[in-house]
Structure 1
Amino acid sequence: MSNSESFIDEVSEEVRKDQLFGYMRKYGWIAVVLVLLVVGGTALTEYRKAQAESAARAAGDEILAALEIDDDVARAEALQAIDAEGGAGAITRLLAASDLVETEATAAAVEALEAVAMDEAAPEIYRELAALKAAMVADDATSIDERRAMLAGLATPGSTFRLIAQEQLALLNVEAGDTEAAIDQFVAISQDAEATRGLRDRAFSMIVALGGDIDALVSNTGQTPTEVEQ
């Protein structure tokens, strides 16, 4: 290799180094920012996780302390005073509603349950359970149509409490005096493949009590309810 070629190579190498250093001086801050963002994001995530765990433990301790109270009214008040969100908040209000029902504070119980049912931060199963219980504990101050509306969304396919909601709708028809519609609903429940034995037996019992043709139903389904056998 000639001296001129060697000189050209050395100059080219120095030019590349200068360009590289120039790029680093010009754009190096971007890499630093990216590193800081990654590190900061990880730290923030861990902090939030620790905060959530701490809040969950604190809420759990408060719930356990409230459950140790013997008096129903005082226990309900203690549970309602707990400041919790999400699943913990839903559980707290469900427990409080149960105590409110025991003390015959039906309106307050329904209010607590409806708050859970409308809480988008709560797990879906808790929201559905709260809506179901609200319809079940509502007294005569809540009309049959209003209770039907509370149950309508729960009686659809895919709902965790579909069959229980359908049973409650059938009972509302009994309350309204629509015996024929109630019998049809109980027959549908008794023939549902997902119905438990207990639910199927209750449906058979209601069909009998309402004057339905239980013999034809048993003949068609091939299933004999416990209550009928007894």
Structure 2
Amino acid sequence: MATPPPENQAFLREVDEEYRRDQLMRFWRRWGRWLVAGVVVVLLGLALWLYLSHRDTRSAELQGERFDTALHDLAEDKVDSAQAVFIELSESDRAGYAAMSRFSEANIALANDNLAEAAATFGAIANDESLPEPFRNLALVRQTLAEYEQMEPAAVIERLGPLANPDSPFFGTAGEMVAAAYLKQGKRQEAGELYGQIARTESVPSSVRQRAVQIAGVLGVDTSETLDGESTESSEATNEQTEEASNQ
């Protein structure tokens, strides 16, 4: 078969290129402005996102700086200035700073023996389901500490019972309050067993374990080797405390 002359091939290529150019021009006339608008929208959206991200990061940094300053003021006994910042940050849109500020407010009230105010604030934190469970549990322990003298022993046991076990990070404080509540009810065996558990749990602070060793011993639970020779409070003083608790 004879091949087409070169002139015909060049002509066909020229026609094909012209056809493609015409198709591209039609496409551009129909969709070009929308493509430009789309690119502009994407760029504007990206710019807005970068701005908001920067503003959000800067806002978090500023709140962190203010919270840190308030903690330093509190350490230097500048309670009023620290409390003003905590009150402001408690309304923050950042859950972490808001919760920590509310917690700090409650701790200040507890330190000043404003037990009702402290208990109310801790209770609100404990019931805030938007917060992580460990944070709420800590608030529950602190709330009970503030209300302890006004609570019935059964209420203390019911509230803190789930936290009064060796697997709980709050076992030391929660366990002590539950064990003391058992003593108030006259349940010396249950109290002794719980004090013994506290004394044997290495994750509990040593000061709490020392008290538990002494009180458990008074209640007939032997934990004398638990602390491996660490110093303890005098057994006579602990005996008096135990008898006082059990007679209340």
TM-score range normalised by the length of the shorter chain: 0.7 to 0.9
TM-score, with structure 2 as normaliser: 0.68
Q: Hey, what does 1:195 align to over in structure 2? A: 204
TM-score, with structure 1 as normaliser: 0.72
Q: Which runs of 5+ in 1 are unaligned?
A: none
Q: Hey, what does 1:134 align to over in structure 2? A: 143
Query: 1:226 and 1:192 mapped to 2: Cα distance?
Result: 17
Inter-CA distance 14–171: structure 2 relative to 1 (3 Å threshold): farther
**C-alpha contact (below 8 Å) 1:63/1:92 kept by paired residues:** no
**C-alpha contact (below 8 Å) 1:76/1:99 kept by paired residues:** no
**C-alpha contact (below 8 Å) 1:97/1:109 kept by paired residues:** yes
Match status 1:175 vs 2:180: no
Among 94, 104, 115, the alignment partner of 1:95 is: 104
Percent identity for Structure 1 against Structure 2:
23
Deviations 1:25-65 (A, max 9, x none): 27624444333322321221112222333344445556666
Query: 2:233 and 2:113 mapped to 1: Cα distance?
Result: 34
**C-alpha contact (below 8 Å) 1:62/1:82 kept by paired residues:** no
Q: Larger C-alpha radius of gyration, 1 or 2?
A: 2
Match status 1:54 vs 2:58: no
Inter-CA distance 69–157: structure 2 relative to 1 (3 Å threshold): closer
How far residue 78 of structure 1 moved from its aligned partner, in angstroms, is: 4.5
**C-alpha contact (below 8 Å) 2:106/2:117 kept by paired residues:** yes
Inter-CA distance 17–223: structure 2 relative to 1 (3 Å threshold): farther
Q: Which runs of 5+ in 2 are unaligned?
A: 236-248
SS at 1:227 equivalent: coil
